[in-house]
Amino acid sequence: MQHSSLPDFVSKYFWGDNLSELSLERNETYIIQTILNIGDQKAVSWLLSAIDKNKIKQRISLLKLTTPSSKFWNLFLS
C-alpha cells in the first residue's frame, strides 16, 4: 500500500521521526498535533488543504497542544 509522504516544507517538523514510515494516513493525529503546535503558515495551510477542517476540530480536545495553541486553534476552528 502506498502512503502519501509529507512535503519537504512540512517534514522539517518531524526531524526526530523516520520520515519513510510517517504518512498522513497512518499518523494523522500526530501530524495534526505537531503542525498545530509548531508549524508555520505554509505548513498549516497544507494541513488545512489535506485534512477537512471539521475533522481537525473534532480532534482538538484529544491533542496534546500547548495552552496558547489550544486556545488559538479552538477559536480559529470554531
| C-alpha–C-alpha distance, residues 20 and 6, integer Å | 10
- pLDDT truncated to tens, each residue of the chain (78 aa)? 344 678 999 999 999 999 889 989 999 999 999 999 999 999 999 999 999 999 999 999 999 999 999 999 999 999
pTM of the model: 0.89
Question: What distances in angstroms separate CA 76 from CA 4, 6, 47, one per listed residue?
Answer: 27, 24, 14
